[in-house]
């Protein structure tokens, strides 16, 4: 019944402590003397109960012991359980009880005989084994990377957490399976298994790099160390391995190789003598330029050799300066000195170096470049001699010499030139003095002429005549100046020229002009009459061409205006608050630019190419909101009356342009009433039937919102009404009108799908009726705030890419956005912009011109949004050419700011686009 073999071994080894028999029916236990001693009890005076024996067991083991005995009794057959008892030495030791539950014929348990075996030594061995196994498991899990073992067939026997991550499986899923069964890439699996088979066959340890594909698609390079797994007899029974992810290390190594290659190529390509000084031993490595520049046939020297080849008069200074940088914790060093050539001559050199330091700041290396200045010094000396000769020559004549060094921002004026600006000979001058000394009326064209001469693309002759206002004496003089730019490659280095005081010559010319004034007046009158007749003859032929040209002209003109308005707007914030004259000049220029912009908008309106932003509009509210503006514009001798219809339909139109239309009509009405009168603005719902539309081609029958502007003036004859909408036609005296007001009205109304009609009779006043289509269905009104708020500013993490093919406009946009606090990048076209977007993923807003060569702004935006959907886009244009505007209406979802724009307009528009959800 007992495990006889185990019992025999236990008896032979002396491990049996004693025996017992438990009578289950009477709960009496008989034990031998050895067992009594083992439990620390005296001789039995009466039979023991089972509880007596269990009470002598370690308290922590008593519950499990009862459960094990109960289970054996209930089950019958063998009983085995381990627990602790306390010996005579008061020490707890582990024992194992083994027995057999006997049953009677009815299957009722009647007895449980057994033996008690001392297993203390066995437990110590098992505990040591468990500790070793736990330590091994901990070690395997703690090792970075992948640790594994395989049998001869390549089946995995063990793997750590790294193995789980690599395979994307749990140990239960991969243990006992090969790489061919586990890896999705059969090529990769075969390569791994072939390498494993080779190592097991050779019996040698190998270290190899393996390319690994993770289940999530990542690719990595692993450095694997693999060795044969041997049994006690030394036979190879499998393979053990450990792998580390060296992907980052390989990338760093590749980067280092690339840097070293770049350094090598740069050293070969440059004409500078590149040197690398290692501080630890004083060794200096040179590039080939040491030979080509200075004639030394060597690529390596000591630092002392370099120092000894410095001119004796310079040596101490250079030695002190370079060691001051090295020893005082500096990084950059530069100096000019004379260096001995191999032929015994000294060369003037400019030497620059950078100190590379270790973690503790200790100098490790110093890398630098030595530039031969000999030719440059000779050229500078020759130039200085030439300039001195020129100075002597000009002083002997009436000519003043001038030289603008654009690289170093220097202005060279001899005494004669300074006198033309009313400046004493001993006073230093700069370009600021030049611009400040120009007459305000001549400053812009003179500045433009200078910019054209310095522009590498134009390289124009600087030939201009202007007035100066003496800085010290206030005298106005006339100066004629000519000059040219000096260029190196595509960069203007200097602009030089001469100036002559032509004040006396101009005085003589003016006197001569006065003598011929009457004759010239007659000739001018005849010429003017002939020109008027010829213009009238050509007018009808030009009308179609004007309509086609206005869009292009507006685009170019708006670009020029953008390059004027933007700098002026930025300049305002940089003016000295006390410099009232400068501010007045800027205000004059800004007002002129705004007037030019208005003229451009009128040209666009006439050609129906202005970008409209229509919205649901209540004409009554718009007219009511203009009351104060209209009253101010009409003046005190004109009475304003508004008649607004109840229940007026809404229309779909651009509110800003419609305000301009009403204001234009009201001002025209005011001008028609020289002695004052009344201007009436009415609104009404109306229906144009087929009879009316048949008589007026180009308008569809339907419901319209009517806005009528009437005056009590003298009215217009029929021939004037027929020409009223022609561009440049005006009945006003010269200087009071451009002839584009009603043309703008006509263009806007037609572009908005409406109709305009003039009703007038001489002596009965005039009424202009504007019909705009009714907006069907409900539409939300947009509320616009007229409050002037502080400039909305950006943050440095908000990155804007400016794309503009016009350099001046691009520069203004970059400066304005930088002024507003954004980080700004720039590109001169679509191709450069797309490259910039690839290398700068943090770009928040694409600010692009619409009309550009090759790829326009809309196509650029479409390509960019296809790759970066979350990119915000703001267009700018002076003329859209239907890229973002169709039928005169801005495309849905498109944001646009029209050139020229002010800093306030740009700040508000950019902020609105960035904050749009």
Q: Which secondary-structure segment (H or E) carries 677?
A: strand 677-688
Q: Which secondary-structure segment (H or E) carries 36?
A: helix 33-38
The distance of Cα 469 from the centroid of its chain, to the nearest Å, equals 47
217 has pLDDT over 80: no
Neighbours of 847 (CB within 10 A): 28
Contacts of 829-833 spanning 24+ positions with Cβ under 8 A: 829/803, 829/805, 829/853, 829/854, 829/855, 830/803, 830/854, 830/855, 830/856, 830/857, 830/859, 830/860, 830/863, 831/855, 832/803, 833/801, 833/803, 833/860, 833/864
What pLDDT, in 10s, does the model give residues 731-746?
665 545 555 667 778 7
What pLDDT, in 10s, does the model give residues 438-454?
999 999 999 999 999 99
Q: How confident is the model at residue 538 (pLDDT cuts 50, 70, 90)?
A: low
More confident residue, 785 or 804: 804
Could you give the residue ranges of the DSSP H alpha helices within 50-168?
Answer: 50-55, 59-75, 120-142, 161-167
| Per-residue pLDDT, 543 | 45
How crowded is the C-beta side of 633, counted as CA atoms within 13 Å? 18
868 has pLDDT over 70: yes
Strand order in the sheet with 28-31: 28-31, 16-23, 109-118, 92-103, 77-86
Q: How confident is the model at residue 270 (pLDDT cuts 50, 70, 90)?
A: low
Overall residue count recorded for the chain in this entry: 917
β pairing state of 651-653 and 615-617? antiparallel
- Who contacts 33 (Cβ-Cβ below 8 Å, separation ≥6)? 18, 43
914 has pLDDT over 60: yes
Q: Which secondary-structure segment (H or E) carries 484?
A: strand 476-488
Say what the pTM is. Answer: 0.32
More confident residue, 206 or 386: 206
Q: How confident is the model at residue 730 (pLDDT cuts 50, 70, 90)?
A: low
Out of 208-217, 500-509, 562-571, give the one with best mean pLDDT.
500-509
Q: What mean pLDDT comes out for the span 519-532?
A: 68
C-alpha 524/C-alpha 527 separation (Å) is 5
Compute the 3-state secondary structure of the chain and give helix, strand, coil in percent, each to the nearest 5. Answer: 45, 30, 30
What pLDDT, in 10s, does the model give residues 748-785?
788 788 888 888 888 778 898 999 999 887 544 444 44
Mean pLDDT of the chain: 81
Contacts of 315-320 spanning 24+ positions with Cβ under 8 A: 318/351
C-alpha 150/C-alpha 753 separation (Å) is 82
- Under a CB-based contact definition with an 8 Å cutoff, are residues 134 and 215 in contact? no
- Under a CB-based contact definition with an 8 Å cutoff, are residues 243 and 145 in contact? yes
384 has pLDDT over 50: yes
Which of 599, 622, 621, 623 lies closest to 610, judged by CA?
A: 599
What pLDDT, in 10s, does the model give residues 9-20?
444 444 788 888
What pLDDT, in 10s, does the model give residues 218-249?
777 878 888 898 888 889 989 988 887 788 77
| Per-residue pLDDT, 307 | 93
Establish whether the linkage from the previous residue to 900 is cis, with ω within 30° of 0. yes
β pairing state of 273-278 and 283-286? antiparallel
| Residue burial 663-689, b: 16+ Cβ < 10 Å; e: rest | bbbbbbbbbbbeeebbbbbbbbeeebe
Rg, Å, the chain Cα set? 50
| Per-residue pLDDT, 479 | 93
């Amino acid at each position: 019944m007992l495990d006889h073999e185990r019992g025999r071994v236990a008896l032979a080894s002396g491990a049996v402590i004693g025996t017992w028999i438990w009578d289950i029916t009477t709960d009496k236990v008989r034990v031998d003397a050895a067992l009594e001693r083992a439990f620390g009890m005296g001789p039995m005076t009466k039979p023991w109960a089972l509880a007596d024996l269990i009470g002598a067991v370690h308290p922590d083991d008593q519950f499990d012991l009862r459960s094990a005995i109960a289970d054996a009794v209930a089950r019958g057959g063998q009983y085995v359980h381990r627990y602790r008892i306390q010996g005579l030495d008061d020490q707890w030791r582990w024992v194992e009880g083994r027995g057999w539950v006997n049953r009677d014929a009815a299957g009722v348990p009647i007895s449980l005989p057994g033996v008690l075996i001392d297993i203390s030594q066995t437990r110590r061995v098992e505990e040591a084994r468990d500790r070793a196994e736990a330590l091994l498991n901990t070690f395997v899990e703690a090792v970075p990377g992948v640790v594994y073992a395989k049998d001869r067939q390549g089946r995995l026997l063990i793997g750590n957490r790294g193995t789980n991550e690599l395979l994307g499986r749990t140990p239960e899923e991969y243990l006992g399976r090969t790489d061919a069964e586990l890896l999705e890439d059969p090529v990769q699996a075969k390569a791994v298994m072939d390498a494993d088979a080779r190592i097991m066959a050779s019996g040698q340890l190998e270290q190899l790099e393996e390319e690994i594909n993770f289940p999530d698609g990542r690719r990595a390079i692993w450095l694997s160390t693999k060795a044969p797994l041997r049994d006690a007899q030394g036979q190879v029974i499998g393979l053990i391995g450990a792998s580390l992810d060296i992907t980052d290390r390989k990338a760093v190594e590749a980067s280092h190789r690339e840097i070293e290659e770049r350094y090598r190529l740069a050293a070969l390509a440059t004409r500078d003598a590149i040197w690398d000084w290692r501080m630890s031993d004083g060794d200096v490595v040179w590039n080939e330029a040491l030979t080509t520049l200075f004639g030394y046939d060597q690529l390596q020297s000591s630092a002392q050799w370099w120092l000894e080849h410095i001119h004796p008069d310079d040596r101490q200074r250079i030695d002190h300066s370079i060691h001051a940088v090295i020893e005082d914790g500096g990084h950059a060093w530069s100096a000019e000195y004379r260096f001995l050539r191999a032929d015994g001559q000294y060369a003037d050199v400019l030497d620059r170096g950078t100190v590379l330091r270790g973690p503790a700041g200790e100098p490790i290396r110093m890398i630098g470049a030595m530039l031969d200045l000999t030719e440059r010094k000779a050229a500078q000396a020759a130039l200085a001699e030439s300039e001195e000769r020129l100075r002597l020559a000009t002083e002997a004549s009436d000519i003043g010499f001038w030289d603008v060094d654009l690289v170093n921002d220097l202005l060279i004026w001899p005494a004669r030139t300074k006198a033309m600006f009313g400046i004493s000979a001993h006073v230093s001058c700069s370009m600021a003095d030049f611009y400040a000394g120009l007459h305000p009326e001549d400053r812009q064209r003179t500045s433009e002429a200078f910019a054209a001469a310095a522009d590498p693309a134009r390289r124009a002759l600087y030939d201009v005549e202007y007035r100066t206002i003496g800085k010290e004496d206030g005298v106005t003089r006339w100066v004629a100046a000519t000059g040219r730019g000096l260029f190196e490659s595509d960069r203007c280095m200097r602009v030089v020229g001469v100036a002559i005081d032509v004040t006396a010559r101009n005085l003589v010319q003016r006197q001569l002009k006065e003598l011929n004034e009457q004759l010239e007046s007659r000739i001018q009158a005849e010429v003017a009459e002939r020109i008027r007749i010829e213009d009238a003859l050509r007018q009808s032929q030009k009308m179609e061409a004007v309509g086609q040209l206005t869009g292009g002209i507006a685009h170019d003109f708006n670009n020029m205006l953008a390059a004027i308005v933007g700098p002026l707007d930025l300049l305002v914030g940089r003016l000295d608050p006390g410099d009232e004259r400068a501010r007045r000049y800027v205000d004059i220029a800004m007002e002129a630019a705004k007037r030019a912009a208005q003229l451009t908008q009128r040209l666009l309106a006439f050609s129906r190419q202005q970008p409209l932003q229509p919205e649901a509009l209540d004409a009554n509210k718009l007219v009511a909101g203009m009351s104060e503006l209209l009253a101010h514009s009409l003046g005190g001798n004109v009475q304003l009356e508004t008649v607004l219809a109840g229940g007026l339909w809404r229309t779909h139109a651009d509110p800003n342009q419609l305000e301009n239309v009403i204001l234009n009509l009201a001002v025209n009405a005011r001008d028609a009433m020289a002695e004052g009168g009344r201007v009436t603005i009415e609104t009404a719902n109306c229906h144009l039937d087929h009879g009316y539309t048949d008589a007026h081609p180009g308008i569809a029958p339907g419901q319209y919102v009517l806005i009528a502007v009437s005056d009590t003036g003298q009215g217009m004859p029929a021939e004037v009404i027929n020409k009223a909408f022609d561009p440049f036609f005006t009945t006003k005296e010269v200087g009071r009108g451009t002839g584009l007001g009603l043309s703008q009205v006509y263009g806007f109304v037609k572009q908005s799908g409406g109709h305009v009609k003039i009703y007038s009779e001489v002596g009965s006043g005039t009424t202009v009726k504007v019909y705009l289509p009714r907006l069907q269905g409900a539409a939300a009104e947009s509320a616009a705030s007229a409050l002037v708020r502080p400039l909305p500013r950006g943050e440095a993490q908000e990155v804007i890419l400016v794309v503009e093919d016009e350099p001046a406009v691009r520069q203004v946009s970059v400066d304005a956005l930088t002024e507003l606090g954004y980080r700004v990048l720039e590109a001169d076209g679509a191709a450069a912009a797309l490259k910039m977007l690839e290398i700068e993923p943090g770009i928040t807003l694409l600010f692009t011109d619409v009309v550009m060569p090759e790829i326009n702004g809309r196509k650029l935006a479409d390509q960019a949004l296809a790759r970066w959907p979350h990119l915000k886009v703001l267009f700018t244009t002076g003329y859209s050419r239907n890229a973002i505007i169709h039928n005169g209406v801005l495309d849905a979802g498109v944001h646009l700011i029209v050139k020229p724009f002010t800093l306030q307009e740009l700040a508000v528009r950019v902020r609105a686009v960035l904050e749009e959800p």
